[in-house]
Amino acid sequence: MKRTPITLADGRPLIYFDERDDAVRETVDRRDLPPPPPASQLRYDPLTDEWVAVAGHRQSRTFLPPSDECPLCPSTPRHRGEIPASDYDVVVFENRFPSFSDRTVDSDAGEITPLVPTGSGGGRCEVVCFTADHDASFATLGPRRVRTVVDVLADRTAELSTLPSVAQVFCFENRGVEIGVTLHHPHGQIYGYPFVAPRTRAMLDAARRHAERTGRNLYADVLAAERAAGERVVGANEHWTAFVPAASRWPFEVHLAPHRQLPDIPALSDAERDAFGPLYLDVLRRFDRLFGTPMPYISAWHQAPVRPHRSSSGSAGSAGPGHSARELSYLHLQVVSIRRAAGKLKYLAGSESAMGVFINDVPPESAARMLRDAG
């Protein structure tokens, strides 16, 4: 894989990842761009022990432009987007409208009230373009391109993990207007959070309690139980299993997990990276066949934090006693959809949005059976 870094007109980095070593890409961004915005402001919520990012500059981000004005398509003489080249394989660049960035503002450090301290939303937000084909989707990619994407995510996870402002690296894809995408071009994103995400903290707490009781890894035990039961398994190969969790929150939810405990994407072996693509593509194509229409989904990689979470005082808080976060974590990909039936969506209404209590309309066993039948 050929790696070619360049700098965009406003100073943001972009990297071409090409599958051919002889690929030559445009290195000059000929646009006239304003400087990138500063970082968001972090505000601490004392009622939930969580951080909220306030990013007013994102109100002006590009929203569902026509295909001939897509900023993620290759540039042409008539339209210059974020990618200067006339073609590409996979491209990563810093988001022009980031939720988190290393352009921090010292004045953000302070407080709204004595109970609500503030800080600058340091970190990084990057965009990953999977293909130059505007009309493609991840499900239409080939296994080789998926392998390239996995290698790119490993590259970016490793690099972002070295940034002092990043506590956790989150790689994900949103697909479909029902989910809330603002650009149709097939792409994903990478967030370098300046804190450990609330869901990750909850999962680590549960994993720590399980390890203290049993001496074993919680997710490894869950995976072993699902593989033994088989009822909710959608597919598997030598290195990965795809299954519907027994207590899934979403109408259709699948976890893809490697058969050995790993903390993050860079830790995957060559064999595991090769085996991931065929199984993941099979799952996504089953999603699309369920109701005969492209399935809206969120695809989210769960990785171990790289640093302890940020406390309310703005300093690094302890991740907890005993086992380290990397020992407790178990790399896996979570794919969820809000479509519960043809023409029907699962909205996060009162119980889910206000109280965090999910009510699933589709029994996980039924979802698994429907996905297997969609093969």
Question: What's the rounded Cα separation, in Å, for the pair 203 and 336?
Answer: 17
Q: Is 187 a catalytic residue?
A: yes
- Helix intervals (H) in the chain: 143-160, 198-214, 218-229, 270-290, 325-328, 355, 364-373
**For residues 257 and 88, what is the distance between their CA atoms, to the nearest angstrom?**
30
DSSP 305-374: -SSPPB-TTSSBPP--SSS-HHHH---EEEEEE-EEETTEE----IIIIIH-----SS-HHHHHHHHHHT
The conformation of residue 63, written as its DSSP 8-state character, comes to -
| 54 three-class SS | strand
Place of tokens 């860079």: 266
Q: Which residue has the tokens 């969790």?
A: 245
**CA–CA gap between residue 374 and residue 255 (Å, rounded):** 17
- By residue count, the chain amounts to 375
Residue 118 vs residues 44, 52, 284, 307: alpha-carbon distances, Å = 6, 10, 40, 20
User: Which of 287, 183, 303 lies closest to 244 in space, CA to CA?
Assistant: 287
Q: Are 208 and 330 in contact (CB under 8 A)?
A: no
Burial class (CB in 10 A: 0-12, 13-18, 19+), 179: middle
Annotated catalytic residue, options 185, 187, 255, 332 = 187
86 closest CA partner among 94, 78, 95? 78
Residue 263, classed as helix, strand or coil, is coil
DSSP one-letter string for 13-33:
EEEEEESSTT-----------
Catalytic residues: 187
